[in-house]
Amino acid sequence: MCGKERIVASDRKTVEVSRVYKSFGGTTVVKDISFEVRAGEIFGLVGPNGAGKTTTIRMLMDIIKADSGEVKILSEVLHESTKNRIGYLPEERGLYRKITISETLDYLSALKGFDRGLARERGRELLQRLGMLQHQRKKIDELSKGMGQIIQFLVTVIHDPDLVILDEPFASLDPVNVKLIKELIFELKGRGKTIILSTHMMNEVEELCDRILMIDRGQAVLYGNLAEIKSRYRNNSVLFEGEGNWNGIEGVVGSKDHGKYTELFLDGHTTPQEVLAALMRKGVRIDRFEVSTPSLNEIFIQVVEGER
């Protein structure tokens, strides 16, 4: 599946979190967080390191208990049978070091109640897809850090879970393996699976996620559809690259030089289409012209600085 293709998510809720709090030693690390994750979407749980993302995920997985609030997974409070429908890649990786890749996949899929024959078939398919089938008899402690991370991801999805929770999944991966993991994530989405991606890497969120919850210092600061959020924080400006005199165009109230291109700031009554038409009338050569959209990292800085 092409990474750019978007599959429409369902309105059915896979995860529901309502007014959750968590403190450790008198310090509140998650404060009044509420969100929902819909079936078939890629949902980003984003924010800087130490924001409370991993604590939130551990409450979803019932590894730690919320002090107050409610968490529902697949329409109910999490219990053991529901856990078999979840694939969880924790931030702290851990595999049995003295057994082979094949043995690892067999053993951990069996713990999830997955059919052994199906697990072996799926394991071979995934290993072949990632170019690792020839390594299936290697022990885990013989693998590089990046290869170990790939196996950890395969363990997370081998039992065909309905909900996949990934905490910093791209750590220690080279660009080739990052691309492969992204393709697998999009394929999971295309099959109707729900993915929660927790990361501080905003560029990965922009590429992958449909909706996000942004956390800072344990509190939600931004929540909703990613495209709508970017539109909401968009400057009334355009990015222009080319040659010629653009000065004097009506409605352009300022500019900023970015090296190869210039950002033109428009007044509240001027549209990008009007500026483009004016540039063409002036005979300016246009190599690039697009509406300026802030990056998620820029939005985060703007929101957090406003909160503080």
Q: Note whether residue 6 is domain-resident.
A: no
Number of domains in the chain: 2
Q: In this structure, are 98 and 18 located in the same domain?
A: yes
Q: Note whether residue 1 is domain-resident.
A: no
Q: Note whether residue 169 is domain-resident.
A: yes
Q: Note whether residue 250 is domain-resident.
A: yes
Residue-range definition of the domain harbouring residue 266: 235-292
Q: Note whether residue 304 is domain-resident.
A: no
Q: Note whether residue 35 is domain-resident.
A: yes
Q: In this structure, are 286 and 176 located in the same domain?
A: no
Instruction: Convert 191-207 to b/e letters by CB count within 10 Å (16 or more is b).
Output: eebbbbbbbbbbebbbe
Q: In this structure, are 52 and 200 located in the same domain?
A: yes
Q: Which residues pair with 163 in a beta bridge?
A: 86, 194
Q: If we measure between CA atoms, which residue out of 284, 220, 193 comes closest to residue 1?
A: 193
Q: Note whether residue 297 is domain-resident.
A: no
- Give just the sign of the alpha carbon dihedral 144, 150, 155, 159: negative
Q: Note the pTM of the prediction, 2 decimals.
A: 0.84
Are the C-beta atoms of residues 45 and 215 closer than 8 Å to each other? yes
Rounded Cα distance between 103 and 95, Å, is: 11
pLDDT in tens, 152-175: 999 899 888 999 999 999 987 889
Q: In this structure, are 134 and 262 located in the same domain?
A: no
CATH code for the domain in which residue 280 is found: 3.30.70
Q: In this structure, are 115 and 245 located in the same domain?
A: no
pLDDT at 308: 56
Q: Note whether residue 115 is domain-resident.
A: yes
Regions of the chain short of the pLDDT cut 50: 1-7
Q: In this structure, are 210 and 284 located in the same domain?
A: no
Q: In this structure, are 64 and 157 located in the same domain?
A: yes
Q: In this structure, are 178 and 97 located in the same domain?
A: yes
pLDDT at 5: 46
Q: If we measure between CA atoms, which residue out of 273, 274, 282, 271 comes closest to residue 248?
A: 282
**Token pair recorded at residue 65:** 């208990």
Q: Which residues contact 91 (CB under 8 A, 6 or more apart)?
A: 54, 167, 168, 198
Q: In this structure, are 167 and 253 located in the same domain?
A: no
Q: In this structure, are 72 and 220 located in the same domain?
A: yes
Q: At what angle do helices 101-111 and 145-157 cross, to 10 degrees?
A: 30
Spell out the alpha helix ranges (H) of the chain: 53-60, 80-83, 101-111, 116-129, 145-157, 175-190, 202-208, 226-232, 272-281, 296-307
Q: In this structure, are 269 and 172 located in the same domain?
A: no
Q: In this structure, are 159 and 215 located in the same domain?
A: yes
Which single residue is written with the structure tokens 């929660």? Answer: 196
pLDDT at 10: 66
CATH code for the domain in which residue 172 is found: 3.40.50.300
